[in-house]
Amino acid sequence: MDRSITKPLDFIYTNVLGTVNLLNAARKFWERPFEGKLFYHISTDEVYGSLGKEGMFTETTAYDPRSPYSASKASSDHFVRAYHHTYGLPIVISNCSNNYGPHQFPEKLIPLFINNIIHMKPLPVYGKGENVRDWLYVEDHARAIDLIMHQGKNGETYNIGGHNEWKNIDLIRLMCKIMDKKLGREPGISESLITYVKDRAGHDLRYAIDASKLQTELGWKPSLQFEEGLEKTVDWYLNNNDWLEHVTSGQYQNYYREQYEKR
């Protein structure tokens, strides 16, 4: 369940009021002409709403958020742009597609299903699993952020996408095959855990990012195809099972404290 559906105010406080508080702090402590300063706002492709079978989101796509989460992110984007135009605050915004990779909290699809497969738990798939997402490996996203921060133009928006569109059910079946191989299980064991559940409210059909502006103007492009990135991700979680166990057991705060004290 999307937590923004059950607790929308949490996302308003964090994404809307939190962003405005940061913008006000920047205005208060940065001295004009703001030389050497930049307010970098990281957003999501969900602010654009839902696509049909064709087309892609560009930086000029009209906003059409469909969930409390995406509405809160859209609002924060608008405030960042408003502070740029009203107060001259130097800003850039990037809207990215679904991230995946090491250290992702296991409420998200890929680490959640990796953990469920390890423990032979059901793999709940919304509807028929036909919703399409564009997947971006976290290290490719980090490279894009670094590039935009240093070379992006003041006041501009950049879309960051992985050029990796996958139906949820196809992604899950691929992950099941990889997990069966890595865990030494008979083929099909993990896939037998797939359980179809009622579709989520406000579940957008398809997201797809057109990242050609970022590629043309700044020279960025994703380094990994999804199959390679997914296998690297699976390997990381299998090799860091202690981290995964601590996080899923609710002991992640103690775990990070222990790791910090070891430094």
Domain boundaries, the chain: 3-261
From 46, 77, 134, 165, the catalytic residue: 46
Fold of 3-261: Rossmann fold (3.40.50)
Catalytic residue among 2, 31, 35, 45: 45
Catalytic residue chosen out of the listed positions 48, 69, 100, 237: 69
Decide if 258 is catalytic: no
pLDDT tens profile 29-81: 998 889 999 999 999 999 999 998 889 999 999 999 999 999 999 999 999 99
Q: What is the mean pLDDT of the chain?
A: 92
Task: Note if 45 is an active site residue.
Answer: yes
What's the confidence (pLDDT) of residue 258? 56
Q: What SS3 class is residue 234?
A: helix
* Pairing outcome for strands 194-197 and 123-126: parallel
Q: Locate all alpha helices (DSSP H) within 30-156, ordered by sequence.
A: 68-87, 109-118, 138-151
